[in-house]
Chains A and B, each alone.
Chain A
Amino acid sequence: QLQLQESGPGLVKPSETLSLTCTVSGGSISSSSSYWAWIRQPPGKGLEWIGTIYYSGSTYYNPSLGSRLTASVDTSKNQFSLKLTSVTAADTAVYYCARYRHYFDSSGYFHNDWYLDLWGRGTLVTVSS
């Protein structure tokens, strides 16, 4: 059964770069044909989409974060990663990695739906000096 686990430093200083990794276990990140997401949730607040990556390396970013954000995938390690530069206190949040729903139809064609059917447990990142 596929599982996701976020990892990274729990504390980042203002103006520095936040780096997180999501490790996929129980299956191959490349053979699953899945798209993967980063979602964050500031303490006591709602959910915000950060970005999306495909195993091939194709990415989509939230425009509000775009220039500070880089997502990447390492198929050899079965991981995908997130880097957010120039962080401020507003970037303090629980960061989740998640998988988008996908399926193959009766003709074998791949379809992806942009909702999230599998989530990691999340990791809290605090931005503070």
Chain B
Amino acid sequence: DIQMTQSPSTLSASVGDRVTITCRASQSISSWLAWYQQKPGNAPKLLIYKASSLESGVPSRFSGGGSGTEFTLTISSLQPDDFATYYCQQYNSYSISFGQGTKLEIK
């Protein structure tokens, strides 16, 4: 099984900040990585797929990068709507797995 580890677990930031969340895979997954945003009481929402491809309708302040075992999700200028929990997900095969999540809080 491929284990996914996100850091940090919690991130405090202010509106307008640039923030980066890291996701590491226990083995190489090429670029088979997606990022999701989840707000309390809601289902996750797809933001990024194939490590760096922006899902239709997602603001361009979100960007993804990396390949192999290390990946990043960057929000260039935090907006009030961005405070949420973010999950990475590997899809190297049908046996998918998620990171433990990063909660982005208002400082």
A binding-site residues for B, Cβ under 8 Å: 37, 46-49, 52, 60, 62-63, 96, 98, 101, 113-117, 119-122
Chain B: minimal CB distance from A21 (Å):
17
Chain A: minimal CB distance from B29 (Å):
11
**Beta-carbon contact of B87 and A46 below 8 Å:** yes
B binding-site residues for A, Cβ under 8 Å: 1, 32, 34, 36, 42-46, 49-50, 55, 87, 89, 91, 93-101
Interface centre among A48, A49, A62, A96 (most CB of B within 10 A): A49
Q: List 10 A-B contacts (CB under 8 A).
A: A46-B100, A62-B95, A113-B50, A114-B32, A114-B91, A114-B96, A115-B91, A116-B36, A117-B55, A119-B45
For residue B43, which residue of chain A has the nearest CB?
A119
- The number of A-B residue pairs with CB atoms under 8 Å apart is 55
**Beta-carbon contact of B98 and A49 below 8 Å:** yes
Which residues of the other chain, A, contact B55 by a CB distance below 8 angstroms?
Answer: 117
**Beta-carbon contact of A114 and B93 below 8 Å:** yes
CA distance A121 to B38 in the complex (A): 12
Known contacts A52-B94, A96-B43, A120-B43; A115/B99 CB under 8 A: no
Known contacts A101-B49, A115-B46; A46/B91 CB under 8 A: no
CA distance A119 to B37 in the complex (A): 12
**Beta-carbon contact of B49 and A60 below 8 Å:** no
Which residues of the other chain, A, contact B100 by a CB distance below 8 angstroms?
Answer: 46
CA distance A49 to B99 in the complex (A): 11
